[in-house]
Structure 1
Amino acid sequence: MDLAKRYDTKLLTVSVLVIVAMVSSLTLSPEWGKQTAFQAFQFMSLTFGSLMQIIGLSSFLLLIIISFSKYGNIRLGKESPKYSTLSWAAMMFFAGNGAGTLYWVFLEWGYHFNAQLQTNGISPNEAINYEKSLAYAIFDWGPNMWAISGLFILPFAYHYHLKKDDRLKLSQICKYAIGEKYANGIIGKVIDFLFIFATVGAMTITAGTSSSAISITLADFLNINPSFMLLSSILLLTSLLYTLSSILGIEKGMRRISDWNIYISVALLFFIFIAGPSQFIFDSLVNSIGIVANDFFRMSLWTDPILKSGYPQNWTGFYLVYFFIFGPFVGMFCAKISQGRTVKEVLIAFIIFCSLGTTIFFAVVGGYQQSIRISGGLLDVPLLLTKGEASNIASLTLQSLPFSYIPTILYILALILFLATTLDACSFTLSAVVTRNLSSSVEPSRGIKTFWCFLLLALPLALNYAEADIDTIKSIVLLTGLPLVALSFIVYKGLITEIRKEFGKLSAQEIIRKTHP
């Protein structure tokens, strides 16, 4: 078949050229690339950070309001759910940011601890700093962030299941606001390019940080030196796992890998919880949830206007954009697997399951690390971060546990599987965007998905080759994510107009009768 008839070759070509340019800037001139990225990060974080905090809280409240309004009763297709609730929830979580979670869970509280988070301009004593740093780590991966990540689920689900439009493209869910003519024209091409750009950014951050952590942990475990070749081999192994998952399809491939992820992740957390100071970890979990619940709105909107440290903009604002770049491809993927479920069920389950998962991850690992530092142990996460040894922290943490080979093997397996599921979801959605006339019952071809798989791994390799620091990573997030923020307003303007047009005059019971079998 002619490639131009099967694929949107213009969109594909532009996307490839931009990725090649980004890879070239990091490999041919790494110092220039990192410096440019740092300057871009400083400008964008201080300019848009506070605005993103407002958008983050507003997104959470918006999804809650929609879920518990009469529109929450809308059923996404009259078919029965295709996956069990556990497998469905696991795929949503692991497709979104699973590998990122396993990377940041070892580091996050340490960054907050070093920042000396203040209350009313007063620096906390060390005890309070421990408590607030862990609470902020949980908050930064909590409901606001997952609401941002799930913001595009409803637009894609409505478009796909209720409008019966198989064209799973960001431009097509914008058509309800900008019109069919513009959505299918040059404006639509630009929108779809921004979608691809953001998805590439999401995969770059996830694969770049995760592969580095796997490489160092594996090298320590095997008592060899970490190297770029080892890291490249890990990404190759991940791509092979992805290829297997892709051949099997979503039903047999990604669902099974996601199920394995659950078992391995639970085993890892259970081991740390039992081997570590269980009571302290549990108390830290309960205490952190209490702090977040009590200070939720304060933490959501804290901008530090007096001291102007820039900390909330650089971290909370950064994370909001970080989760935004996962939004479109998570929305497209979750819409595809959520047939037969109500709007309320999908949105609430996504926020609750994902927030609960990250809360437990951060509390167990962070609580264990804090207990070692408090008791005077050798593992000092804040100190290691100041020395620029972030990639070593996961390995050192696991080595401090009894029978360390068990959690180390579990961690390496979990990260590789997390990475494979995220790669699978990214490749699937990008392939769907560039494939013409893709029906609901057909997945994109294995060839195009494999093409995206290897292309998506090019930027993470470049990041590691250039030895990019945390600010370079943050700048890629902001650069690829901020355009989506503007697009989200367009998407929801059209979505709300369409939903009110179709269901606005119906009662909750009438909506149930119309959309349920």
Structure 2
Amino acid sequence: MNKNAYKNPVFYVSSIIVLLLVLIGTFMPEQFGAVASQLFDFTTVNFGWFYLLAVFAIIIFLFGISITKYGKMKLGPHDSHPEFPFFTWIGMLFSAGFGISLVFWGVAEPMSHYFTPPFPFLEGQTEEAAREAMAYSFFHWGISQWSVFAIVGLVIAYLQFRKDEKGLVSVAIQPIVGKNKGVANTIDSLAVIATVMGVATSLGLGFIQMNGGLTSVFEGIPNNIWVQLVIAAIMLVAYMLSSSTGLNKGIKWLSNINLGVALLLMLFVFIAGPTVFILNTFVLGLGDYMTGFIEYSLRLTPYSGGEWVYDWTIFYWAWAIAWSPFVGAFVARVSRGRTIREFVFGVLIVPPAIACLWIAVFGGTALYSDLNNGTQIAEAVNVDVTVALFETFATLPLTNVMSILSIMLIFTFLVTSADSATYILGSMTSKGSLNPSLFTKMVWGTLIAAIAIVLLFAGGLEALQTASLTSALPFTVILLLMVVSIIKVIKRDYKVKK
């Protein structure tokens, strides 16, 4: 075993806690789910306002610092250059930050909002509901979600590559809280636990979606746990091969493949689908997103008592915050050598723009079909969200070919997510090592896959996902401390440079 992992209490504490949570979720799924749900409801209902304000403040800070004199400072030595080409960098960001989630929700979310609109005065399955559905989908997958990943990535990358510090969440707030081993180990253990549970549930949901796709394409393949088990086993073997090649080969090439296949699928649907409608939808949705950005960002319902904002926006922000240690640390690792300005605009503009275009193409095609062709994709999604993408392909030519390509894309996203997550977990539990041992990565990779499989059998995926989101509240405080931390460090460094 890697010496750093062997001597690091974070490795043992986090792995033991994760194992205990999985055992409880396996043998007492209903009780575990009830407690997790109560904790999540308590944090979101009582602190939803805090999530909204924090994310909004982080966005303002990131754009603010990028346009100041500090924007020219590099995430690394003065003479450093970007480690990865731009397309590869964006591919890595896209794979780690969105991955399978966007493939899953690109149709499912706008169709869900079309069926049940965000505002109570709107009637479902109308043109007005379709317009609002697209605007809100852009908002949820846009700048706000990525700002959470960006602040973590910015602080860790700056301290790691410019100050030669360890790439850990605890180190990122040291300029504020000082050096305390107990506090540092607690924060890092919390980051590891949230990452493991979040990735495990995403993999489990990915196995379910892949199984649904295979069943829709190949009549002889059933939709059951045993097929999902085979998918998990194949994914684990592919991940092991990818992980053994290192960051510069496995994740790099898979990220390029992911982005390439995703763009190919999007181009096909754009051409084969209602092209002009998609373009109009994209432009209008972008306009609605921009004009409604402040309202959406700070929207709560204290007078009407509606649950929609809690079920969607606040849930998304909690999910992004809970995932921020993993995605942020990975974003930091692949952003060495870029200026702060290039980092902020690259992370906050390009991936969200791709996401909005993806939603316009796939979600727009589904909306057009329901509005003009009498299909019932929204009804199907309301019954089972996993069928959203494949129901949309059924309205287009080359249905099976596109479905198979999508299944391949989901699979490579699964492998990339597992690969990047276990790299970061290996680093987190090896005292911030840039090159965690293969053994440590294999331990976490195997553990994550095993957790996903066990929970599929136990039916506890949703409970574990909800449990992981309870970590969002303390991490929101940590994110705000990071903002203060990076301001303090950068101002001091700028004065020294002058």
The TM-score, its normalising length taken from structure 2, stands at 0.94
Match of 1:33 in 2: 32
Q: Tell me what 1:144 maps to.
A: 144
Query: Could you tell me how far 1:124 is from its partner in structure 2?
Result: 5.0
Cα distance in 1 for partners of 2:280, 2:178 equals 53
User: Quick one: percent identity of the two aligned structures?
Assistant: 25
Q: Identify the residue that residue 219 of structure 1 maps to in structure 2.
A: 215
| 8 Å Cα contact 1:379/1:397 also seen in 2 | no
Distance 1:139 1:11 in 2: 36
Deviates more, 1:107-116 or 1:208-217: 107-116
8 Å CA contact 2:370, 2:377 repeated in 1: yes
Counting matched residue pairs gives: 494
The change in CA–CA distance for 1:9 and 1:341 in structure 2 (over 3 A counts) is closer
SS of 2:121 mapped into structure 1: coil
Q: Would you say 1:204 and 2:200 are equivalent positions?
A: yes
Distance 1:67 1:371 in 2: 39
| Offset of residue 334 of structure 1 | 2.1
Mark the CA change 1:21 to 1:377 in structure 2 (over 3 Å): closer, same or farther: farther
Alignment pair present for 1:321 and 2:322: no
Match of 1:163 in 2: 163
Query: Residues of 1 paired with 2:10 and 2:464: CA distance?
Result: 25
Superposed counterparts of 1:185-264, under 5 Å: 185-223=181-219, 224-264=221-261
CA contact (8 A) 2:113 2:130 kept: no
Aligned: 1:446 with 2:442: no
The secondary structure found in structure 2 opposite 1:306 is: coil
Question: Where in structure 2 are there 5+ consecutive unaligned residues?
Answer: none
Residue identity opposite 2:474 in structure 1: P
Q: Does 1:412 align with 2:407?
A: yes
Name the CA distance, whole Å, in 2 between partners of 1:232 and 1:9. 32
The letter for the 2-side match of 1:51 is: F
Deviation at 1:405, TM superposition (A): 1.4
Measured after TM superposition, the shift of residue 196 of structure 1 is 0.4
Shift of 1:478: 2.1
What is the letter of the counterpart of residue 115 of structure 1? Answer: T
Return the offset for 1:492: 2.6
Instruction: Give 2:12's aligned amino acid.
Output: T
Match of 1:475 among 466, 482, 498: 466
> Is the contact between residue 265 and residue 410 of structure 1 (CA under 8 Å) also seen in structure 2?
no
Decide whether aligned partners of structure 1 residues 482 and 8 sit closer, same or farther in structure 2, where only a CA change above 3 A counts.
farther
Alpha-carbon RMSD across the aligned residues, in angstroms, is 2.1
Contact 2:26 2:458 in 1 (8 A): yes
Distance in structure 2 (CA, Å) of the matches to 1:195 and 1:247: 24
Q: Secondary structure at the match of 2:294?
A: helix
- Please say if residues 207 and 460 of structure 1, whose CA atoms lie closer than 8 Å, have aligned partners that are also in contact: yes
Displacement of 1:390 after TM fit? 1.6
Normalising by structure 1, we get a TM-score of: 0.90
Work out the CA distance in 1 between the residues paired with 2:344 and 2:377: 38
Tell me the residue number matched to 1:351.
Answer: 348
Question: 1:92-120 CA distances to partner (integer Å, 9 max, x unpaired)?
Answer: 121122111111112111222233322xx
CA distance in structure 1 between the partners assigned to 2:22 and 2:471 by the alignment? 14
Is contact 1:211–1:234 with CA below 8 Å preserved after alignment? Answer: yes
Q: Which stretch shows the higher mean deviation, 291-300 or 393-402?
A: 393-402
Deviates more, 1:413-422 or 1:38-47: 38-47
Code of the residue aligned with 1:490 in structure 2: it is: L
Please state whether the residue corresponding to 1:82 is helix, strand or coil. Answer: coil
The 1:160–1:450 alpha-carbon spacing in structure 2 relative to 1, beyond 3 Å, is same
Partner of 1:110: 111
Please point out which of 389, 392, 408 is paired with 1:394: 389
